[in-house]
Chain A
Amino acid sequence: EDKVVQSPLSLVVHEGDTVTLNCSYEVTNFRSLLWYKQEKKAPTFLFMLTSSGIEKKSGRLSSILDKKELFSILNITATQTGDSAIYLCAVEAGGGSNYKLTFGKGTLLTVNP
């Protein structure tokens, strides 16, 4: 059974802090790892990672994948209250057309002013 484990489950920080969210996985036939941000409704896509060691960056957010150690981190620098959300990590696995996303439980980030 594919597993995706995120840590911490929740985190409270102050504006301006830097946070690191973790995602480890055990899957068969790994294809990609994706990070999502979920506020009120469906999660919105942040990053997709397929190769080890290549950092993806978008503004204050960045992420990197380690396929040897089977984990990924999501960094958020200079956090703002608008960053408060659940951050979901998902791993796509499987062969052919029979693939699916396995989600972690998410990290609930709260950024206080």
Chain B
Amino acid sequence: GAVVSQHPSWVICKSGTSVKIECRSLDFQATTMFWYRQFPKQSLMLMATSNEGSKATYEQGVEKDKFLINHASLTLSTLTVTSAHPEDSSFYICSATSGRAPEQYFGPGTRLTVT
């Protein structure tokens, strides 16, 4: 139980284009979803927290106009990297919590490479 999927698992895009990453909770309703970014061999950096039906809360230093987050339903959140640049290349991970238990269930991550 408590499976979170992400799609795509990896994507390569050209500089200046936008990329959308989906995060789905497959067998539970996710009241809150978190988006993280990870650099090689470093801890996860929380980018934003999204609650279903409301605007995402972004962490300090994260550009909300660049990283658009939509949490339209209890099972789906999307992260759109707009006008991607090579420095946006990273591993993006989402996690979800049902609200009944504090554990966060992580998705498998999406590797983004911007050329």
Interface residues of A (CB under 8 A from B): 31-32, 34, 41-45, 48, 86, 88, 92, 97-106, 108
Q: Flag if A34 contacts B107 (CB, 8 Å).
A: no
What are 26 A-B pairs at a CB distance below 8 A?
A31-B102, A34-B103, A41-B91, A42-B109, A43-B44, A43-B106, A45-B103, A45-B105, A45-B106, A48-B103, A86-B41, A88-B43, A92-B102, A97-B32, A97-B51, A98-B49, A98-B57, A99-B102, A100-B34, A100-B49, A101-B95, A102-B46, A103-B43, A103-B46, A105-B43, A108-B41
CB-CB < 8 A to B34: which residues of A?
100-101
Count B-side interface residues using an 8 Å CB cutoff: 23
How many residue pairs link A and B with beta carbons under 8 A? The number is: 49
Instruction: Answer whether A106 and B102 are a contact pair too, CB < 8 Å, given A42-B93, A42-B109, A97-B32.
Output: no
B29 on the interface (CB 8 Å rule)? Answer: no
Most buried by B among A44, A45, A101: A101
* B residues with CB within 8 A of A: 31-32, 34, 41-44, 46, 49, 51, 57, 91, 93, 95, 99, 102-109
In the complex, A27 Cα to B34 Cα: how many Å? 19
Query: Given the complex, which residues of B lie within 8 Å of A45, measured CB to CB?
Result: 103, 105-106
